[in-house]
Amino acid sequence: MIAYSGNLSELALETQAFYRQAVQLLNDAEIPFLVGGAYALAHRTGIVRHTKDFDVFLREEDAHRALEVFARNGYRAELIFEHWLAKAFHGEDFVDFIFSSGNGVAKVDDLWFEHSLAVSFLGEPVLLCPVEETIWSKSFVCERERFDGADINHLLRGCGRNLDWNRLLGRFGPHWRGLMAHLMFFSFTYPTEKEAIPAWVLKKLARRLEEETDSSQEGADNGEDASRRVCQGTLLSRIQYVTDLERWGYTDARLDPEAGMTARQAKVWTDAGLRG
């Protein structure tokens, strides 16, 4: 097991103690979990930024178990959004129990654990989220107040040459255009680091784009029905495409089977963003 390479010395001792106990509680309860967020990013890229939250990724059923464990140990523990997020609080610090993404697409499943990295964090054994799943999850964070594109760029710069690109392509599935957009953003950001992205990946996506463009044109020429208009912007931002849904008649992509959110869950998530 390798040592976690991020700098934790700047964290308050009380915060370190809380994070360490959080890890111990999960390990003692034999709840499988992964460390993500700022701490996984620091280990993968060397970029250190400390926040008041400690991101833990786990399967949905295990998130509910984690809430019970923390509540029994005196912490305020709450299910914040039923489709993806719970929290346990200690003063101003808190643990995020993440079991999906805000748009419902990037659900935590067995593959997250199969491809994780074992490290020692604050003297405790943990698993770090895989780079591929981290990129997949972060690619959908494109809010007005937060955009994770720079994190993705830094992960691609540091880890792109060793990624499991077939698995990453599989993760994006029908949302492959989102991956392609981030790869274009990377090549713009780092014009001298283009070799971090294998040529075959870019060629495959380019062929897919060409084939889909040709197919769409043929469908238009044949008079195919295009009345069901879907806005996938809601997969990127919960608040910036409300007008598209409410005034312009687009269907919310979060309600498609790939995301699997209910209309009520989508409304709760959007309303929370609108409230700020």
Can you give the pLDDT at residue 53? 87
56 strand-pairing partners: 35, 97
CA angle at 235 for the pair 135 and 101, rounded to the nearest 5°: 55
Taking the model in full, what pTM does it have?
0.93
Tell me the C-alpha distance between 139 and 102, whole Å: 12
In the block, tokens 């912490």 appear at 75
Can you give the pLDDT at residue 228? 74
Can you give the pLDDT at residue 50? 72
pLDDT averaged over consecutive 10-residue blocks of the chain (276 residues)?
63 89 97 95 89 91 97 97 97 96 97 96 94 98 95 97 98 97 98 96 96 74 63 97 96 93 97 92
User: One-letter amino acid identity for 169?
Assistant: L
Q: Could you write out the DSSP letters of every residue in 215-260? A: HHHHHHHTT------EEGGGGT-SSTTHHHHHTS-PEEGGGSTTT-
Which class for 137: exposed (0-12), middle (13-18), buried (19 or more C-beta within 10 A)?
A: buried
Tell me the C-alpha distance between 191 and 189, whole Å: 6
